[in-house]
Chain A
Amino acid sequence: MSKLRTITRRTLLIGSATIAGGVAFGAYLAKKPIPNPLLDNLGDGQAAITPYVLIDAAGITLITPRADVGQGAYTVQANMIAEELDIDPATATISPGMPGPAYYNEALLSEAVPYPPYNEDALPEALRRFMSIPAKIIGLQVTGGSSTVPDSYEKLRLAGAVARETLKQAAAQRLGINRSDLTTQDGHVITPDGTRIAYTDLATEAATIDPVIDVSLRDPGQWTLLGKPHQRLDIIAKSTGTET
């Protein structure tokens, strides 16, 4: 179970922001006392959001920042977000997004230590964890070294979970009931009497409230998408000449 504490230690905060006609969920890079050249153009107390989930009236977009050249990276990233967000990833738009410092790859350099990958002793493991710091400082947004899943595994599921709980909170406020009385399914918040409210219908309200960030990630036993075989989301486009 991953709680917010783990995340703040990594200075990765999943938050929300208003976009035209909707809401974005993503990673905040807050200005820290330690100088970070990447954040020089941020004022004190300001934060830049780098989105993983965009929702407006037209639909849901999942941002999958690691590139896909046929290894299935877009599909696995979309599934990691969708697993917590409770949507069918085939119904969402998948976009690699814009380059951004919060998409830095913290797993990439973890094998850039003088130990073979199978050496899992305490020292190599500690060094591997340490390597996420230079990766962050130089803001390496790189796809490679089989790092997409290790790097995204927590971030993307967290983005999905924060988005899901915030959408539930928006519905709870609209209906004057508790968030804990609501569930989610297939892109909808489900009320106790079974009414379904589409996420797209809650987007503008979700943008105006504080995001729910004290979320826990689901146990693998509850997964419906991850760990199962899937048709790659881009396979139809690649078989009809419409992949862009």
Chain B
Amino acid sequence: MQTSFTLNGKATQVDVAPEMPLLWIIRDELGLTGTKYGCGIAQCGACTVHIDGYAQRACQVQAQDLAGATVTTIEGLGTLANLHPVQEAWIETQVAQCGYCQSGQIMQAASLLADIPNPTDEEIDDAMSGNLCRCGSYPRIRQAIRAAATKMADTQ
């Protein structure tokens, strides 16, 4: 089937099987490999992207549900020349170890802060508990989210 949506600000059209997950569309059809495949069954968060502004698991959204959606991946969140505050905080805190989970962590954190600009520790844990990190970078993830919250408050 043909479907049209907005990907990182650009009108995008693909012709794929209706049940193809968005994660496949992003990585295999469109060649954006910043979003990672971890489990394929909504258990790890590595594939997290924003759909209409909210964090969603790209492995669980099918082509047939995509028409008209606005999708943002890590590539669209910020670039080296124009980093998102969450990415700045992630770099300053040196959160990433192997890095595999980090695109998902960053997208989840950005969605959390858009929703709750100054989250409590409990709110951070609630929002981030579905994003697993095999390297165990959780303490730095929490630290970076707090740093990003401060940055975003300062620029407002």
Which residues from chain A sit less than 8 Å from chain B, CB to CB? 69-71, 231-232, 234-244
Cα separation A189 to B83 with both chains bound (whole Å) = 35
Is residue B153 within 8 Å, beta carbon to beta carbon, of the partner chain?
Answer: no
Q: Does B44 contact A (CB under 8 A)?
A: no
20 contacts between A and B (CB under 8 A): A69-B98, A70-B97, A71-B97, A231-B91, A231-B94, A232-B94, A234-B96, A236-B80, A238-B102, A239-B87, A239-B90, A239-B102, A240-B74, A240-B75, A240-B80, A240-B83, A241-B75, A242-B80, A243-B99, A244-B33
CA distance A241 to B72 in the complex (A): 12
State the total of A-B contacts with C-beta under 8 angstroms: 52
Q: Tell me the B81-111 residues at the A interface (CB within 8 Å).
A: 83, 87, 90-91, 94-99, 102-103, 106
A239 touches B97 (CB 8 A): no
Task: Give 20 A-B pairs besides A69-B98, A70-B98 with Cβ atoms closer than 8 angstroms.
Answer: A70-B96, A70-B99, A70-B135, A71-B97, A232-B94, A234-B99, A235-B96, A236-B91, A237-B99, A239-B90, A239-B91, A239-B96, A239-B99, A239-B102, A240-B74, A241-B33, A241-B73, A241-B74, A241-B75, A242-B75
What residues of B have a CB within 8 angstroms of the CB of A241 in the complex? 32-35, 73-75, 103
B79 within 8 A of A: yes
Most A Cβ at <10 Å: residue of B32, B33, B87, B102 = B102
A231 to B74, CA, bound (A): 21
Return the chain A residue nearest B76 by Cβ.
A241
Which B residue sits closest to A68, measured CB to CB? B98
B78 interface residue per 8 A CB criterion? yes
Provide the residues of chain A in CB contact with B73, threshold 8 Å.
241
Chain B residues in the interface with A (C-beta under 8 A):
32-35, 73-75, 78-80, 83, 87, 90-91, 94-99, 102-103, 106, 135
Interface of B is mostly: loop
CB distance from A73 to the nearest CB of B (A): 11
Across the interface, which residues of A come within 8 angstroms of B98, CB to CB?
A: 69-70
Q: What residues of chain A lie closer than 8 Å to B106, measured between beta carbons?
A: 239
Closest-by-CB residue of B relative to A243 is B99
CB-based nearest B residue for A71? B97
Q: Provide the residues of chain A in CB contact with B95, threshold 8 Å.
A: 239
- Supposing A69-B97, A70-B97, A70-B98 touch, asked if A235 and B135 sit within 8 A by C-beta, the answer is no
Interface centre among A71, A237, A238, A243 (most CB of B within 10 A): A238
With A70-B99, A70-B135 as known contacts, state yes or no: A240 contacts B94, CB within 8 Å: no
Contacts of A237 in B (CB 8 A): 99
Which chain A residues lie closer than 8 Å to B94 at the CB level? 231-232, 235
Interface centre among A69, A235, A236 (most CB of B within 10 A): A235
Are B34 and A242 in contact (CB-based, < 8 A)? yes
Please indicate the chain B residues that have their CB under 8 angstroms from the CB of A239 in the complex: 87, 90-91, 95-96, 99, 102, 106
Q: Are B34 and A235 in contact (CB under 8 A)?
A: no
Q: How far is the CB of A38 from chain B (nearest CB, A)?
A: 31
